[in-house]
Structure 1
Amino acid sequence: MDSIQSWINQSKNKNLDLSSKKYLLTKAYKFIIKNKLETPIHLSSIAYEFYNLNDSINFFSINKVAVETSLKLNNDYALGDSYWNFATYYAAKENNQKAYKYFNNAFKSFNKGNFKFEMARVLFGMAKIKGEYKDYNHSEILNIKSIKLLKELKNHKFLFTGYVHLARLQEDIKEYDKALNYYEKAKKHLKKLKKIPVKFNFIENNIANIYIEKEKYSIALKFYEKNLAKEITKIHLARVLDNRAFCKLQMKDTLNVKKDFFHALHIRDSLNNKTGILMSKIRISDYYSYMKDTINAIQYAKEANLLAEELKNGRDYLTSLKQLSNLDKKNSKKYLDRYIQYNDSLITVERKAQNKFTRIEFETDEHIEEKERLGQQLIWIIGGSISIILISTLLYFLRVQKVRNEKLQLEADQQKANEEVYVLTLQQQAKLEEERVKERNRISAELHDGILGKLFGTRVNLGFLGMQMNTDTQEKQQAYLDELQSIEKEIREVSHKLSDNFNDANINFTTIIKQLLSDKSVIGQFTTHFKSDDTIVWNDISEVTKANVYRIIQEALQNIIKHAKAKNVTLAFSNENEKLVIQITDDGVGFDTKKSRKGIGIKNINSRVAKLLGNVSFTSEPNKGTHLQIKIPIT
């Protein structure tokens, strides 16, 4: 984008020749087309620069693309700018109907986006065209609308030109005092400019022209002199010299009048300013008429008439016809009839033009209304279709949601049933383990109290019998007694081992967990380490909690088997402030907790822990294993 704007800016360099400027603009345009860039404002800018280079072919083709792209993207500013380009082109070609149409289109686009400066400028363009066709009322209305916008923007430069145009409109309808008032307002805004452009140094000339119409020639002459004292353009110099000479002529002061008239004509001729040349010839004809030089007066009047016809300048064409009817007595009627005929046709043309401009506005508004109506209709159709789709989607969603809820309810009921079955299994295992412990304690008691007692009695009786035996027999007897005592000791040790650590019913749950660790270690090919805090009273913990703890550990071990590639796994139970703390640690591959996405296993663990009103935390790093910590209230 920056490159495109850079090429456009470079093309404005006054030091470049025409071909270099066109090359840069073509380069920018081809870059947009090649890269399929949708930048209508750049296209509009490129087209306008081609217009400035008098390349109407490229101007038209590129500006057309700018309009199409703007419409496609709904870019109101670029669309308005593109229409403004066409309006400027047709205004320069004096095709005012087309110019007005595009000014109007540009205004509609700028108005949509509330682009106030651009709105003011195109309104001014429309006002000028209306004024040229003597539709003074509408021209004034458009001009005032433009001025209101420019006042908001505090744009003194264009406020100056706006008030100047308002003054000229008042001058045309002979409201000279209003015209002078508007010129004073224009001057105030001119003074607010930091630097006044030379081309703006014309206002004294315009004020002087009004005083001529008011027949206050002395005041007019002072304003002409005042204007000539300023730095002005050559074209304006010719205008002021011509007007000053005409003013003097009205004062019947012919000193240097002819010189000024021909000086002005020479300047205009050197600039090929045909409109100015036309005015000079009309004024020179007046001069020769005043000097009673009828031949020269008729000659310049005829030249002015032909040039006015060529330029299609109706006002000056009528003026030259009027001059000829007064000067050429022989052909006076012919010129007068032509004057009346042309004046009538001119009035008709102006009225038709005014009507056409009104029709352009009406048709544009009607087109916009129709477009809006169709747009509204389309919105209703689209809205209705979307509503039907939304309702259908909602019904489908409700149906799917109902099925999903039923499925979830079924799964929940199944899970609840599974947990109940598991709790019953756990209770049954606990009962079996309890019975097993009782049986072992009974066997231990039987060995200790029964068999050991009998052996002790037998050993005592044998001791008494030894008193009646001889020495050799007593020695053998003593050996047997020692053997019996050794047997008693072994039986006692077996009895104690059977009874040790099996009086606590807490062994039931940890035994199951140990068995789970053992089973999973075979599948996962890792070594397990188990630690349990003796202060945990498992009998005080509900069966539902123990069932969920079992499932949590089972899920965690399953995740280790699937993902961790661990060699060692440690499970530890501890009691911390009436909370059961479960810690599972592995030395596997680990994972990045920030990037890793939570799988079903982790979600299940979180769900179960939340159900138990606990909390869970994962700590892991790549290649540094994983640590899982769960805290659950002991209930």
Structure 2
Amino acid sequence: MSTSRLKYPCAILLLTLVWAVLTRCETVQHSSPSEKEKDSVTIWLKKARADTIARPVRKQFLVRAYDEAILQNDSSRQRSLWSIAYEAIRLRDSSMFRKSNKEALQLALKMRDTFGIADIHWNYGAFYLDRKHYDSAYYHYSTAQKLFKSVPHSYYSGKMLYNMAFIRGRIKDYTACEVLLFQAIAEFKPENRYKQLYQCYNHLGVIFDELKEFDKAVSYHKIALEYLDRIEDTSVFLQKSQNNIGLIYQKQGLHEQALTYFNKALNTPNLKSRDISLYARLIDNIAYSKFLNNDTTQLPGEFHRALHIRDSMHNGLGVTISKLHMAEYYAQYKDTALALSLTKEACKLAQSKQNNRDVLSALLLLSRLDKKNGQDYLQKYIELNNDIQERERKTRNKFTRIQYETDQYIEKTRVLSTQKVWILTIGIALVLLLSLLYILNRQYARNKFLHMENRQQRANEQIYLLSLKQQAKLQEGRNQERIRISEELHDSILGNLFAIRMGWGFLKLQGHPDALQKHRHYLEELQRIEKEIRDASHELKDKLVAYPINFINVVEKLIQNRGKTGDFKYKLIHDDAIPWEDIDEQVKVNLYRVIEEALQNCVKHAGAGLVEVRFELSEDNHLRLIIRDNGVGFNLRKRHKGIGIRNMQSRVQKIKGEFCINSEKNRGTTITVSVPV
């Protein structure tokens, strides 16, 4: 039996896995954030991707990336976790993959990000495919495909169909594989995705080769080559396709044609440095075709050459095939002992790699070579082959069940969707009617509330003006009382003292000289007291304090009250040069109301620990009010339902001022008002 067919599907598997990795890289580019700056997650991911660093260290970098990612906002965290999960697949870190991909899926579901959910299922598909859990991989690829289709994203939908076809091919469900490939082609063609079209037609060639429909297989491979002509970077796709076509001709016994294609591929400049695995495969295939064609030129040297290259690369699958080919060669030329040894080595190696296909080939060859134990080997072959077929049958049934349940779900969804349309239509009509009634009622209540609020604001302003006038009257009363006291001291008390002193001074007193001296001293003291009273009287009247209406005190009292309510500290800073007595009362009233509204927002929304209120007089004779807090801030671009800010703007406009507000999340809020004075 020919064993050349055994290496062909392995080659295709390797090619497809490479293609899958490349397509995932494209997705990484698509899903990565668009910002130019490199955040810490990106830096750790870049280190985790460095192939020159030991894998355990790279896994630690991935943990650091995860620690940084969980601190981001939902959208950024989802993209970062997706990237971390993808890198975990490459590093075979299943624990990190499961954790990060699960969290990414939860975030995507929370944000209802259909594309993100599909991308995360793609990750799951790649993860399970890498571990050959084909049913789980197929389920996730199928889920991702439906989501990409609904977005819609034809390109990624086609990629998922291709991955599903690959899995169907692995379980030998070639009919389903063919259907899926043509569905993928239908997605790729309108988009002119020539590389993916090449992959699809190449895979069609593979499955028809497995079905032994060799003419169709060659036909599809040649269509694949036509698309390859339209690809700029073909890598070694051309040489792999030439090898595939050569293998088909080899199976048909058309060895001259097979050798033509093998040699075309092998003669490609720099092929050995570009893809040494393909280079060794071509050498082995050429040697095997020569052997089958009874051409022993350069044999068995070429077999040994291919084996040496594969062995140096630790390519277990390639070494197995080389040894099986060499065993056939030595068996043909009567070196049965060496042939037996090579076949046993190949069988043992294939078993260690769980490569059942090559195990079967080795057992069948051993049954022919080992006359003594041939029957035992043949029995093992039959048992293993039956076991493989049974497992493949169960797997195909499982996939059929998955597909059936999916179709049933789709049909059930369609019926439910029709019912939902009617329910939704009636529901919407009722909701619209109730909403209209609710809106009308709410509008009425809102208008009533606004009317009452305006009346309350006018009342508050009147109260404030009355408060200022009361302060003015109190100050006026103080000054009048000072004048009254001054006049009383000057006209009454001082006059009486003067009269007493004068009368006392004209008395003709006689006595001891010391007593007379004390008499004169007391008269002088009395005169001094008169002078002090006169000076005090003049000061009380001449130096009246022209206190302004104490606007600052009123503001400070307001801040103190709000500070107690909101549990925040405050700073009140004002320029003494501000001529408050010359500033219009309406300006002060509106500034007071702006401060009141800003402080109310601090209490209700900001959660501030410190509020600063500052009054400044600018060089261009503008009064500036600055209110700053260290609260949570808010997004200025986001529309807010409240009318507080609009009320502040309206009040500033009334006094022909300018209003500015700046705020950032977690950076606090600053309100600036500038009014000409």
User: TM-score, structure 2 length as denominator?
Assistant: 0.56
Q: CA deviation at 1:253?
A: 1.5
Q: Kindly tell me: are residues 10 and 189 of structure 1, through their superposed partners in 2, closer, same or farther at Cα, counting changes over 3 Å?
A: farther
1:17-56 correspondence runs (5 A): 18=55, 21-22=58-59, 25-39=62-76, 40-56=78-94
Q: CA deviation at 1:365?
A: 4.4
Query: Contact 1:269/1:277 (CA < 8 Å) preserved in 2?
Result: yes
Q: Does 1:180 align with 2:218?
A: yes
Q: Does 1:113 align with 2:138?
A: no
Q: Choose from 253, 269, 282 the match for 2:324.
A: 282
**Residue in structure 2 matched with residue 481 of structure 1 by the alignment:** none
Q: Does 1:596 align with 2:650?
A: yes
**Residue in structure 2 matched with residue 321 of structure 1 by the alignment:** 363
Q: Kindly tell me: are residues 563 and 270 of structure 1, through their superposed partners in 2, closer, same or farther at Cα, counting changes over 3 Å?
A: same
Q: Does 1:168 align with 2:206?
A: yes
User: How far apart, in 1, do the equivalents of 2:355 and 2:48 lie?
Assistant: 35
Query: Contact 1:105/1:364 (CA < 8 Å) preserved in 2?
Result: no
Q: Kindly tell me: are residues 401 and 357 of structure 1, through their superposed partners in 2, closer, same or farther at Cα, counting changes over 3 Å?
A: closer
Q: Does 1:299 align with 2:351?
A: no
User: How far apart, in 2, do the equivalents of 1:305 and 1:115 lie?
Assistant: 46
Q: Kindly tell me: are residues 167 and 384 of structure 1, through their superposed partners in 2, closer, same or farther at Cα, counting changes over 3 Å?
A: same
Q: CA deviation at 1:35?
A: 3.2
Q: Kindly tell me: are residues 397 and 123 of structure 1, through their superposed partners in 2, closer, same or farther at Cα, counting changes over 3 Å?
A: closer
Q: Deviations over 1:375-412 (max 9, x none)?
A: 8888988887776565455556678999999xxxxxxx
User: How far apart, in 2, do the equivalents of 1:333 and 1:387 lie?
Assistant: 79
Query: Contact 1:47/1:62 (CA < 8 Å) preserved in 2?
Result: yes
Q: Kindly tell me: are residues 130 and 564 of structure 1, through their superposed partners in 2, closer, same or farther at Cα, counting changes over 3 Å?
A: closer
Q: Deviations over 1:158-209 (max 9, x none)?
A: 2222221111111111111111111212212222222321365322111111
Query: Contact 1:110/1:119 (CA < 8 Å) preserved in 2?
Result: yes
- Structure 1 range deviating more: 395-404 or 19-28: 395-404
1:201-600 correspondence runs (5 A): 201-230=239-268, 231-232=270-271, 233-367=275-409, 391-392=433-434, 394=436, 596=650
Q: Deviations over 1:539-594 (max 9, x none)?
A: xxxxxxxxxxxxxxxxxxxxxx99599xxxxxxxxxxxxxxxxxxxxxxx9xx999
Would you say how many aligned residue pairs link Structure 1 and Structure 2?
Answer: 426
Q: CA deviation at 1:38?
A: 3.0
Q: CA deviation at 1:102?
A: 1.8
Q: Kindly tell me: are residues 321 and 295 of structure 1, through their superposed partners in 2, closer, same or farther at Cα, counting changes over 3 Å?
A: same
**Residue in structure 2 matched with residue 58 of structure 1 by the alignment:** 96
User: How far apart, in 1, do the equivalents of 2:160 and 2:649 lie?
Assistant: 58
Query: SS of the residue aligned with 1:596?
Result: helix
User: How far apart, in 1, do the equivalents of 2:74 and 2:197 lie?
Assistant: 37
Q: Deviations over 1:232-288 (max 9, x none)?
A: 311111211111111011111222221121222222222222111221121111111
Q: CA deviation at 1:124?
A: 1.1
Q: Choose from 132, 138, 148 the match for 2:186.
A: 148
Q: Does 1:194 align with 2:232?
A: yes
Q: Deviations over 1:302-356 (max 9, x none)?
A: 2222333333333222211211111112222222223233323322222211111
Q: CA deviation at 1:364?
A: 3.8
Query: Contact 2:162/2:181 (CA < 8 Å) preserved in 1?
Result: yes
Query: Contact 1:268/1:276 (CA < 8 Å) preserved in 2?
Result: yes
Q: Which amino acid aligns with 1:293?
A: D
**Residue in structure 2 matched with residue 530 of structure 1 by the alignment:** none
Q: Kindly tell me: are residues 394 and 242 of structure 1, through their superposed partners in 2, closer, same or farther at Cα, counting changes over 3 Å?
A: same
User: How far apart, in 2, do the equivalents of 1:195 and 1:394 lie?
Assistant: 62
Q: Which amino acid aligns with 1:237?
A: Y
User: How far apart, in 1, do the equivalents of 2:305 and 2:242 lie?
Assistant: 20
Query: Contact 1:246/1:257 (CA < 8 Å) preserved in 2?
Result: no
Query: SS of the residue aligned with 1:330?
Result: coil
Q: Which amino acid aligns with 2:220?
A: Y
Q: Which amino acid aligns with 1:296?
A: L
Q: Kindly tell me: are residues 199 and 52 of structure 1, through their superposed partners in 2, closer, same or farther at Cα, counting changes over 3 Å?
A: farther
Q: Deviations over 1:352-376 (max 9, x none)?
A: 1111112222334445666787788
Q: Which amino acid aligns with 1:139?
A: C
Unaligned runs of 5+ in 1: 406-560, 566-588, 600-620, 625-635
Query: SS of the residue aligned with 1:35?
Result: coil
User: How far apart, in 1, do the equivalents of 2:319 and 2:446 lie?
Assistant: 91
Query: SS of the residue aligned with 2:650?
Result: coil
Q: CA deviation at 1:25?
A: 4.0
Q: Kindly tell me: are residues 370 and 272 of structure 1, through their superposed partners in 2, closer, same or farther at Cα, counting changes over 3 Å?
A: farther
Q: Deviations over 1:499-526 (max 9, x none)?
A: xxxxxxxxxxxxxxxxxxxxxxxxxxxx
**Residue in structure 2 matched with residue 612 of structure 1 by the alignment:** none
Q: Which amino acid aligns with 1:58?
A: M
Q: Kindly tell me: are residues 400 and 272 of structure 1, through their superposed partners in 2, closer, same or farther at Cα, counting changes over 3 Å?
A: closer
Q: Which amino acid aligns with 1:31?
A: E
Q: CA deviation at 1:72?
A: 2.0
User: How far apart, in 2, do the equivalents of 1:44 and 1:55 lie?
Assistant: 14
Query: Contact 1:41/1:81 (CA < 8 Å) preserved in 2?
Result: no
User: How far apart, in 2, do the equivalents of 1:348 and 1:47 lie?
Assistant: 35
Query: SS of the residue aligned with 1:38?
Result: helix
User: How far apart, in 1, do the equivalents of 2:102 and 2:587 lie?
Assistant: 66
Query: Contact 2:74/2:107 (CA < 8 Å) preserved in 1?
Result: no
Unaligned runs of 5+ in 2: 1-32, 448-583, 589-622, 624-645, 654-673
- Structure 1 range deviating more: 221-230 or 344-353: 344-353
Q: Kindly tell me: are residues 31 and 304 of structure 1, through their superposed partners in 2, closer, same or farther at Cα, counting changes over 3 Å?
A: same
Q: CA deviation at 1:6?
A: 5.9
Q: Which amino acid aligns with 2:152?
A: N
Q: Does 1:104 align with 2:137?
A: no
User: How far apart, in 2, do the equivalents of 1:404 and 1:245 lie?
Assistant: 91
Q: Which amino acid aligns with 2:386?
A: D
Q: Does 1:89 align with 2:127?
A: yes
Q: Kindly tell me: are residues 5 and 209 of structure 1, through their superposed partners in 2, closer, same or farther at Cα, counting changes over 3 Å?
A: same
Q: Kindly tell me: are residues 280 and 399 of structure 1, through their superposed partners in 2, closer, same or farther at Cα, counting changes over 3 Å?
A: closer
Query: Contact 2:367/2:373 (CA < 8 Å) preserved in 1?
Result: yes
User: How far apart, in 1, do the equivalents of 2:445 and 2:161 lie?
Assistant: 64
User: How far apart, in 1, do the equivalents of 2:362 and 2:165 lie?
Assistant: 28
Q: Kindly tell me: are residues 360 and 397 of structure 1, through their superposed partners in 2, closer, same or farther at Cα, counting changes over 3 Å?
A: closer
Query: Contact 1:167/1:179 (CA < 8 Å) preserved in 2?
Result: yes
User: How far apart, in 2, do the equivalents of 1:253 and 1:159 lie?
Assistant: 38
**Residue in structure 1 matched with residue 613 of structure 2 by the alignment:** none
User: How far apart, in 1, do the equivalents of 2:444 and 2:111 lie?
Assistant: 43
- Structure 1 range deviating more: 246-255 or 3-12: 3-12
**Residue in structure 1 matched with residue 171 of structure 2 by the alignment:** 133
Q: Deviations over 1:204-228 (max 9, x none)?
A: 1111111111211111112211111
Query: Contact 2:283/2:306 (CA < 8 Å) preserved in 1?
Result: yes
Query: SS of the residue aligned with 1:257?
Result: coil
User: How far apart, in 1, do the equivalents of 2:205 and 2:55 lie?
Assistant: 39
Query: SS of the residue aligned with 1:34?
Result: coil
User: How far apart, in 2, do the equivalents of 1:110 and 1:401 lie?
Assistant: 44
Greater C-alpha radius of gyration: 1
User: How far apart, in 1, do the equivalents of 2:183 and 2:100 lie?
Assistant: 31
Structure 1 vs Structure 2: percent identity of aligned residues? 34
Q: Which amino acid aligns with 1:129?
A: I
